[in-house]
Amino acid sequence: MFVTRYTIESMFWKRSKRIYLDYASLAPRDEKLFSKLEQSVSRGNPSSFHKEGVSAKNTLEEARTLVADQIHALSDEIVFTSGGTEGDNIAILGVLEAYTGGGVPHMIVSAVEHSAVLEVVKTLEARGKISLSYVPVDARGVVDVRELRAMIRPETIFVSVMLVNNEIGTIEPVAEVAKAIRHFKKTCDLRLVTSDSKYPLLHVDACACQAPNYLPIDVRALHPDLLTLNGSKIYTGAGVGALFVKRGTPIQSIMHGGDQERGLRPGTPDVKKISEFAVALAECARARDTEMEKYDELRTLLVSGVETVCKKYDIEMTLLSDPFVCVPAIVNVSFVGFESELLVIELDAQGIAVSSKSACKSESEDLSHVLSAMGKSASWEIPANIGSIRFSFGRWATKGDIQRTVKALGSIFLKYKKSN
């Protein structure tokens, strides 16, 4: 078998002595899952009419149908992309491109969205293309649907709320947001709506975290107009994803070239990666119940262990991931008196990989925008010297990994207690 970089990564995390607890940044590629696909995928261009091309086209459409089935969509509502960031950009910019109403259109996003959404709308606002509102969250990171409802106005064309927050694991009330939008459409004076009653559209980012691993994604229940998925969070590796675009959604291409993927994502598709993505998404559904039971156990073990070592070394800690509203596979903990980056480096030196915040913003020295948004609604203020660590579990995480991680944290706390 041809050995790729992802093959090496997958083998490394499973067989090395290092511990990987950063699955929310990237879920290492599961080579075993795709072994049967290696020789079955045609190498032809699916746009060609020869035998190889027709075979590739059939494989592509089979993958499209499989993805659609997993989220209860129609196959022609699935657009394959290179990943979550591209999918979010196509959704936001494509809707704006298709908008034909007068005036400056209005968009609403939650204050805790992934940078793949936030940076796009911030840029559009800075260029005067849109007006922008941020929906606040409570101290647990849950979007305030009442505030969102009050923000919707006749010129609002787009609302974006993620399904699961990538930093703390909060499950957002997407179905309630959709209900609020439907209520607005039914009750507003349609004469004031600048284009038609399809606006505002709801976009759901289901790829900023590993949402398909934790929750069933049913577009019939969530009612999004657009929804993004990312292969790098479901063990496929980077470079592939999908965008659900509900039939009738006004959207135009932001790229130009061929007419592949309804013209929204021109270029020759990587049929092999797309097939792997479809298989991985189906595997998420098959393994979800079993894996969630494991994550519950790992979470309990980690939280209990961290509380014990913090009490032993008199370290003030706060569990930021509320178990009542968060998925169990993401545990975000703050440690007062310790910088996030310092703890990440210390744990890495002991062979343990974790994150201080979203990997896409990890080079920034600013406090996480997610924690900042939570702090505005919390009864506590975020100390300047707080260190927040995100532990995220996945397919190959074990109880032994958690026990070793807790022990490593204890040694770090002891080291710094002795030096101060």
Q: Residue 310 catalytic? A: no
Per-position b or e across 289-318, b if 16+ CB within 10 A of its CB:
eebbebbeebbebbbebbeebbeeeebebe
Q: What is the DSSP string of 162-227?
A: -SB-TTT-BBP-HHHHHHHHHHHHHHS-GGG-SS-TTPSEEEEE-SSS-HHHHS---HHHH--SEE
DSSP string computed for 229-289: EEGGGTTS-SS-EEEEE-TT-----SS-S--GGGGTS-S---HHHHHHHHHHHHHHHHHHH
Angstrom distance (rounded) from CA 402 to CA 294: 12
Joined tokens for residue 328: 């169990």
- Give the end-to-end CA distance of the chain in Å, rounded to a whole number: 53
Q: Which of 126, 108, 123 is nearest to 162 (CA)?
A: 108
Tokens of 26: 């990237």
CA–CA distance, 406 with 274 (Å, rounded to integer)? 38
Contacts of 347-350 spanning 24+ positions with Cβ under 8 A = 347/389, 347/405, 347/408, 347/409, 347/412, 350/408, 350/411, 350/412
**242 pairs with which residues across the strands?**
80, 229
> Hey, what amino acid is at 129?
K
235 dihedral zone (left: phi>0; alpha: psi -120 to 50; beta): left
**What are the structure tokens assigned to 71, written together?**
């989220």
Rounded Cα distance, 64 and 73, in Å:
10
Looking at the DSSP bridge assignments, the partners of residue 134 are: 109
Active-site hit among 207, 310, 326, 360: 360
Question: Residue for token digits 């896409």?
Answer: 360
Query: Which residues are tagged catalytic?
Result: 360
